Each structure stands twice: as structure tokens, then as C-alpha cells.
Structure 1
Amino acid sequence: MAAAVFAADQASKLWAIGLLDSPDAPRIKLTPFLDLTMSWNRGVAYTLLRSDSDFGRYALAGLSIAASLFIGFLLWRTKTTVSAAAFGCLIGGALGNALDRLTHGAVADFLYFHTPFWAGPLANYVFNVADVAIFAGAVLLIYESLTSKAPVAP
């Protein structure tokens, strides 16, 4: 799962950069709420922890790699398919965004989700396939935690 997410993320970013990364590239409308547009994110979600310095981008990439190693340890120990899929999504997404930071200095975001809301997390959000995978991995872990039967204490 991690390899598939990583490959899909990198292929989609290569395509998007070729199509959208120029000053005169138009915004491509896909649906009333989703467009294609190029945005280079030097931070994390909603450009939090933004860093234009080399130290900052290497620190964020290092954090992603360290998190991937820790999640890989959890993956090694998991006993369920849902957890394995979730951890694979998290690892593939984190490594995809880390590679962007190391090769481009920022993460390539190109899926622009927008709504008529004037504020809040759904007003405007630009993301990529890695971000979708990270979100899906988190949702799978929450789902499993809510639906799994906890062991009965003796």
C-alpha cells in the first residue's frame, strides 16, 4: 500500500507540474467545487510551520521520514488488514511529501477544493494525492478504533 500510494502521488505530481507549473497556466475547473491549480506549499497543512529556509525544509522532511519509520514499526506489529492499509497510506503519503521537500524545496499541491463558505477548513484547500492518502489512513485508524472489540480484562 505504501509503495502504491507513493507511486500514485509522485506520478500525479509529475503530471500536474508539467501541466500547471507556469505563470500563464490556467486554473482548470473539474467540478463546481474542485479545480486544478499549482501551489507550492513550504509548510504543512494550511501552510502551518511554513519555512523558506533549507533548514526548515530539511527539518520537515526529516520529521516525515522519522514518522514513517515509527509508523513502519507499528505496521510490522499490526495484526489487522485495516491497520496495515492505514499505515501504508500514512507512510506512502508522508514519504511522497518528504521527497517533494527534498527535490523541489516545497510540496506540490494541485487539487483545489473550494466551497462558498467564507471561512473555515472547507473554504479553500489545495492538496495532493499524498494528502488524500494521509487523511484516508487517519480515517481508517479512527474507524478501526471505534469498531474493534477491545480485549476483555481477566
Structure 2
Amino acid sequence: MVSLFKQTGLRWLWLAAVVFCFDIGIKLVVMNNMGYGWVNRIEVLPFFNLLYVHNLGAAFSFLSDQQGWQRWLFSGIAFAVSAMLMVWMRKLPAKESWNNVAYALVIGGALGNVFDRLVHGFVVDYLDFFWGNYHWPAFNLADSAICIGAVMIVLDGFRSKKEQPQD
């Protein structure tokens, strides 16, 4: 079992754990130290605020106006995707850092948001960016990790691969 974690991509699950812990830690700080809503935002830069809001849906508050079933749907999807990525990590060598880092970022972020959904019934968002009249939906560290990991996975499709010898 130990060699499985040393030799395969599962070795990179430490990164998923770090993302998960930082995400949950930041969300707890936000929940315990900030007032809820846009009126309580902290203006940090001319294009960036910190705030505390709830997201009952997925990205961009998708399905947030539903009756609560989406909580279980999105949690199930996150668990399924995380399990699938761990299977892929198990098949990759530990030295294949690009894909393993990408998968770990997605896993850590997905499980961070699942934690919120299962414990609180909503996802805590706290990062608020805007430019002029364009306002990006609030998001969190978990969302950022998922997006960065997903972009890495897409970019990997464009990377040139060394030819594998034919058996």
C-alpha cells in the first residue's frame, strides 16, 4: 500500500489535502469574522472586495433558485469526479507532475465545496472581482483550484506527448 502512494500519482493527494484545508480554514475565518452580504464587503482594491455570501448552486449560482435537490446533485457529481480522478492518478506515475497536480487541485477544490454543501447547506464565497460595470460572481479558493486544475487538464491535451513504444 505504501509503494502505491510512493510510485503512483496518488502521491500528489497531499496537494488536494492542502487545498481542502486552506479552503475550509479561510471560509471559517470569513464566516466568523465578517458580516453577511454585499453591504458588509471590505474594499481591498478598486476592482476587488472581500465579502461573505452563500451560494446554494454551482458555478455562477447555477440552479441556486431550486428547492435544495441541487445540493445533493452537486455533491454526488463532486464525489464521482474526485473518485474518477483518483483512479486516473493511481494509473499515472508519481513523476507525471502536470496531470497529478491538475487532478489534485480539482479534487481538493471539489471536496472543499462539498464540505460546505453537506455541513452548511451552501457554499461560502468571499472573493469579489469587478471591472467597471462588469461584476464577476463571487467565488472562493476551492473554485479557483478547480478552474486552475481544469485549465491544466485542457492544456495537457495540447502538449506534445513523447511517442510510446509499441508492444
Tell me the TM-score normalized by structure 1.
Answer: 0.87
Cα gap change, 1:50 to 1:139, in 2 (>3 Å): same
Where do residues 85-100 of structure 1 align in structure 2 (5 Å cutoff)?
85-100=101-116
Farther-moved stretch of structure 1 (37-46 vs 59-68): 59-68
**Aligned-residue CA RMSD (Å):** 2.1
For 2:85 and 2:116, how far apart are their aligned partners in 1? 20
Instruction: Give 1:1-154 correspondences, 5 Å limit.
Output: 1-22=15-36, 26-50=40-64, 52-79=66-93, 80-118=96-134, 123-149=135-161, 151=163
Query: Identity of counterpart residues, as a percentage?
Result: 32
Looking at structure 2, the residues matched to 24 and 116 of structure 1 have their Cα atoms a distance apart, in angstroms, of 17
TM-score (norm 2): 0.80
Give 1:15 deviation, angstroms.
0.7
Deviates more, 1:71-80 or 1:31-40: 71-80
* Structure 1 segments unaligned to the other structure (5+ residues): none
* Rounded Cα–Cα distance in structure 1 between residues aligned with 2:43 and 2:118: 30
Tell whether the 8 Å contact from 2:31 to 2:52 is kept in structure 1 after alignment. yes
- Which ranges of structure 2 fall in alignment gaps of 5 or more residues? 1-14
Name the count of aligned residue pairs: 150
Give, as a single letter, the amino acid of the residue that structure 1 aligns with 2:22. A
C-alpha deviation, 1:150, in angstroms: 5.4
Q: Which has the larger radius of gyration?
A: 2
Between the aligned partners of 1:3 and 1:31, the Cα distance in structure 2 is 30
